[in-house]
Amino acid sequence: MDRTIGRRIAKNTAWLFTGQITGRLLRAAIVIYAARILGAASWGAFSYALSVAAFLTIFSDIGINALLTREGSKNPNERERYLATSFAVKLVLLLIMSAGVMIFINHLTNLPEAVSLMPIALVVFVFDSLRDLGSAMARALEEMRIEAIANIFTNVAITVFGMAALYFSPTSTNVTLAYAAGTLAGFVFIVIPLRRYFRGLIRNFDRSLIKPILATAWPFGLVGLMGAVMINTDILILGWMRSATEVGLYSASQRPIQLLYIAPSLIATAFFPQLARLAVESKEKFSRLFEQALAVIYLLALPLALGGIILAKQLIVLLYGADYTSAYISFAILSATLAVVFPATLIGNAVFAHNKQKTFLIYVALGIFGNIILDLLLIPRWGMNGSSAATLINQIIINIYAWWLMQKTAPFSISGHLVKLSASAAGMGIVTFALQYIGIPVLLNLVVSAIVYIRLLIALKEPTFATIRAVIRKNPVLEEPSEL
């Protein structure tokens, strides 16, 4: 890999991981604490309201954020125009979505407590969406540190406000208000370093860009919408068919998996500006860079999936307490999705880098309707475990198609990497299971298993790990790596 490209990607990846992991861990802390304090029923209502907000956040984007990043990266002189016009389009969509929720609020769920939280969840939805637009601009500038610091600040604010709410008046309403206050603070925070671009929102607005933005963005937006559907449809349908308690249990099993889904998104985001350029400049270099990124993603995905399956029960009890034990089967099934979702995230970005997002429409249709159909078939019989199975089955089906589509767009091969990565993960899994069987505490098991996995990668001389290790050793702060 080119030294300059490697340096940029390593630095951006480091910033994104720092921001997202720190922020998500902070938010995970308040989420787990809230689940314990509120109880499964109130926690279920809170989770349902936030799931609606998350769903709307993705739907209102329709690919605008990714388009802003791509065009801002490729055409620096057009950044102000694209930001101003994208902001206006998104604001209109936010208003339409919010009005729709308020009109149909009583038909969105059978959970009365969740209905009362919806107006507050809309505030979360609006400010999260606008902050995401700021993050997209930061990515276009390849200034991921702005996004990282803003993420940390937002989640610190949510955690502080949330802890205060749970201490003084532990209700789902107050926790939702804390979320809303935190997202507002996060939006204000990200505008400050980008104020040069936000100041010209009115002056730089270009009506002629509206149609090109919508025409180009919507296919990729559907991919994002599909992800939101597959993550949130389960809870929405559970909310219609089952009790608030079961929604709370399923949400508990889903939250750690959603946290892990961030990892491939960060890697894909860090690689995306370079992939967008190479898609135009050199097919050969694009494929080489894509293969390296995919190998890095599998290096993380395989042990996480296997470890989650084996240690599901212990992890759920560790995180939430014995009251949530029945969520462990759902957690184990969702852990298996990591091996499928991780590479799919990068593939989606790679297709968009080639401006081939319209070829993903079948993938989107399969994802959205397949998940809904499977949920409707499996939830009535198996409840939250059926919902988890629906997600896994659908992910496998649609990502077989995604791999085929990517091979047509830009042929690639990582079979050499997968053999050693799979062997290392399998060896780790044997150790993980043995340690669990003899009663080793779960945290110690995780540490020993991670060490075993790393040692196996070294022993098998897997080049992906060797490259990452070389980058870290040569430059601990990831500023001047010689390769990635």
On whether the CB atoms of residues 250 and 235 are closer than 8 A, the answer is yes
The confidence score (pLDDT) of residue 117 equals 83
From 61-65, 356-360, 435-439, 477-481, the region with the lowest mean pLDDT: 477-481
* Band of residue 303 on the pLDDT scale cut at 50, 70, 90: very high
63: left (phi over 0), alpha (psi -120 to 50) or beta: left
- 472: helix, coil or strand? helix
DSSP string, 3-40: HHHHHHHHHHHHHHHHHHHHHHHHHHHHHHHHHHHHHH
Q: Which amino acid is at 305?
A: A
The CA distance from 22 to 208, in Å, is 40
Which tokens go with 215? Answer: 């025409």
Please state which of the ranges 199-213, 229-243, 362-376 shows the lowest mean pLDDT: 229-243
| Residues constituting the chain | 484
Dihedral-angle region of residue 55 (phi above 0 means left; psi in -120 to 50 means alpha; beta otherwise): alpha
pLDDT > 90: percent of the chain? 21
pLDDT at residue 61 greater than cutoff 80? no
> Residue 345 has which token pair?
């995230």
State the residue for tokens 């992910």. Answer: 395
Contact status, residue 47 vs residue 231, Cβ threshold 8 Å: no
Residue 480: predicted pLDDT: 33
Query: Other C-beta atoms within 10 Å of 479: how many?
Result: 10
Q: Which helix (H) or strand (E) holds 321?
A: none
What is the DSSP code (8-state) at residue 410? S
Is residue 461 scored above 90 in pLDDT? no
pLDDT of 418-439, one tens digit each? 888 999 999 999 999 999 999 9
Most confident of 106-110, 141-145, 176-180, 234-238: 176-180
Q: What pLDDT sits at residue 389?
A: 93
195-to-137, 185, 391, 400 alpha-carbon distances in Å: 11, 15, 41, 43
- Nearest alpha carbon to residue 174 among 163, 186, 190, 183: 163
Q: How many beta carbons lie within 10 A of that of residue 25, not counting itself? A: 12
196 Cβ neighbours under 8 A, 6+ residues apart: none
With a cut of 80, say whether residue 24 has pLDDT above it.
Answer: no
The two tokens of residue 436 are: 């669990």
Nearest to 83 by CA among 73, 97, 95: 73
* Average pLDDT for the chain: 81
Counting residues of the chain whose pLDDT is more than 70, the rounded percentage is 84
CB 372, CB 234: distance < 8 Å = no
- CA gap 218, 232 in Å, rounded: 20
**The tokens of 180 are what?**
């809303």
Q: What is the mean pLDDT of residues 178-182?
A: 90
At residue 472, the pLDDT reads: 47
Does the structure show a pLDDT above 90 at 463? no
Per DSSP, 354 falls in state T
If you write DSSP's letter for every residue of 223-240 in order, what string do you get? HHHHHHHHHHHHHHHHHH
Written as one string, the DSSP assignment of 61-88 is HTTHHHHHHHHHHH-GGGHHHHHHHHHH
Give yes or no for a contact between 356 and 406, defined as CB atoms under 8 angstroms apart.
Answer: no
Q: What is the mean pLDDT of residues 372-383?
A: 90
* Cα angle 168-188-479, degrees, rounded to a multiple of 5: 105
For residue 218, pLDDT over 80 is answered with no
Question: Mapping DSSP to helix (H, G, I), strand (E, B) and coil, where does residue 315 land?
Answer: helix
Cα distance between residue 155 and residue 20, in whole Å: 9
Report phi then psi at 192, rounded to 5: -60, -55
* pLDDT band with cut points at 50, 70 and 90 for residue 313: very high
Instruction: Calculate the alpha carbon distances from 467 to 270, 366, 417, 456, 459 in Å.
Output: 17, 37, 13, 15, 14
